[in-house]
């Protein structure tokens, strides 16, 4: 992929202003750009002047079809580890997204469970080595069984990762989307009750929560009141979690399908409202873009998102 030149750097340089005094949040983006290698994705985000970057301690460093670029920490040699860490040095903050596909750390099979736990342990060590201070964790889904059956085991597992994270100077941030209701997600974070564990609010992960599906029929998703209900659900989670909100994933949502991680072109997400809720709870984390799309168009998508977020944040001052 062709990276931005000096002109692109200057255009993206406005992002650095978000770190100035008076603005409470830094804005970043993750390296989940299909078609890019890891170092190429890092270079793009650096040239766009994002002060925050989110890396993936999973996957492969080289461009790989249908995969985001990342790394397996246990497969890296010393030189590769140092090369990645040096590439990340210009960023003010580094965050990480822990592995989540093909894993079952609540499996009834001891071998399956042990392998999943080891995979996340290794990724957490890699995130810490690379300087990450927040590590996003997906709760393990068990869609064919009652959540109550697994809740306590999930709490115990996350508390263990909280202990490991605290020793490494990292905060675990449990991402929204599972368990299947807002009440259960909030209760999970509360039961974990660990100083090194908070929550990641992904603006696109509320579509299957029981509280929302009870209000909105699938055929009515595009209606104004349905979109409002979706955004109200996101804001309710923020207000209920309060100081436990540790991280935010931002993007847009297709209003017809509710498919998330879209470029900021639909206007589905009520960012002024969400920013107001974040200010109510005293949020001081980052806003990290998770946008998918054509790799050739990603620099433009990211620049556009920078501008929109800057505008909304300016309105909130």
Residue 316 pLDDT grade (very low, low, confident, very high; cuts 50, 70, 90): low
CA distance 262 to 267: 10
Model confidence, pTM: 0.91
pLDDT (tens digit, 9 = 90+) per residue, 268-312?
999 999 999 999 999 999 999 999 999 999 999 999 999 999 999
Whether the per-residue pLDDT at 21 is higher than 50: the answer is no
pLDDT score recorded for residue 205: 96
pLDDT score recorded for residue 67: 85
pLDDT (tens digit, 9 = 90+) per residue, 128-156?
999 999 999 999 999 888 999 999 999 99
Residue 10 pLDDT grade (very low, low, confident, very high; cuts 50, 70, 90): very low
Sorted by where each begins, the domain ranges of the chain are 6-316
Distant-in-sequence, close-in-space partners of 194: CB < 8 Å, separation ≥ 6: 158, 159, 162, 163, 166, 172
CA distance 76 to 277: 41
SS3 287: strand
CA distance 170 to 167: 8
E strands, the chain, are: 26-30, 52-55, 93-97, 132-137, 171-175, 197-202, 245-250, 286-289
Whether the per-residue pLDDT at 113 is higher than 80: the answer is yes
If you average pLDDT over residues 87-103, what whole number do you get? 96
pLDDT score recorded for residue 12: 38
What are the b/e assignments for 63-87, b being 16+ CB within 10 Å?
Answer: beeebbbbbbbeebeeeeeeebeeb
CATH for 6-316, options being 3.90.780.10, 3.20.20.150, 3.20.20.140, 3.40.50.460: 3.20.20.150
pLDDT score recorded for residue 18: 39
pLDDT (tens digit, 9 = 90+) per residue, 186-220?
999 999 999 999 999 999 999 999 999 999 999 99
Helix segments in 21-169, DSSP class H: 38-47, 78-88, 110-129, 151-168
If you average pLDDT over residues 115-132, what whole number do you get? 98
SS3 56: coil
If you average pLDDT over residues 46-52, what whole number do you get? 97
Higher pLDDT: 21 or 113? It is 113
Per-chain mean pLDDT for the chain: 91
What are the b/e assignments for 297-309, b being 16+ CB within 10 Å?
Answer: ebbebbbebbebb
Does residue 256 contact residue 209 with C-beta atoms inside 8 Å?
no
Which of 99, 211, 120 has the alpha carbon at shortest distance from 168?
A: 120
Does residue 242 contact residue 212 with C-beta atoms inside 8 Å?
no
């Amino acid at each position: 992929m062709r990276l931005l030149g000096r002109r692109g750097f200057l255009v993206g340089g406005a992002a650095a202003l978000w770190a100035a005094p008076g603005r409470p949040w830094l804005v970043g983006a993750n390296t989940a750009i299909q078609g890019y290698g890891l170092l190429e994705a890092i270079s793009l985000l650096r040239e766009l002047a994002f002060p925050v970057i989110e890396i993936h301690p999973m996957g492969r460093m080289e461009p790989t079809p249908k995969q985001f670029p990342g790394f397996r920490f246990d497969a890296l040699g010393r030189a590769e580890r140092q090369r990645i860490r040096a590439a990340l040095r210009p960023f003010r903050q580094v965050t990480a997204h822990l592995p989540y596909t093909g894993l079952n750390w609540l499996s009834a099979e001891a071998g399956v469970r042990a392998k999943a736990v080891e995979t996340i342990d290794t990724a957490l060590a890699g995130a810490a080595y690379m300087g990450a201070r927040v590590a996003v964790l997906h709760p393990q889904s068990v869609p064919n069984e009652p959540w109550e059956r697994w809740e306590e085991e999930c709490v115990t597992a996350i508390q263990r990762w909280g202990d490991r994270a605290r020793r490494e100077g990292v905060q675990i941030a449990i991402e929204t989307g599972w368990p299947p209701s807002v009440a259960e997600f909030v209760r999970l974070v509360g039961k974990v009750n660990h100083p090194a564990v908070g929550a990641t609010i992904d603006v696109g992960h509320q579509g299957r929560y029981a509280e929302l599906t009870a209000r909105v029929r699938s055929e009515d998703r595009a209606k104004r009141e349905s979109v409002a209900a979706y955004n109200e659900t996101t804001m309710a989670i923020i207000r209920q979690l309060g100081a436990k909100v540790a991280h935010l994933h931002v993007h847009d949502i297709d209003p017809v399908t509710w498919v998330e991680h879209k470029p900021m072109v639909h206007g589905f997400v009520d960012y002024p409202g969400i920013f107001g809720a974040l200010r109510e709870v005293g949020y001081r984390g980052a806003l990290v873009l998770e946008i998918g799309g054509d790799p050739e168009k990603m620099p433009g998508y990211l620049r556009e998102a920078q501008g929109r977020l800057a505008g909304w944040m300016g309105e909130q001052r």
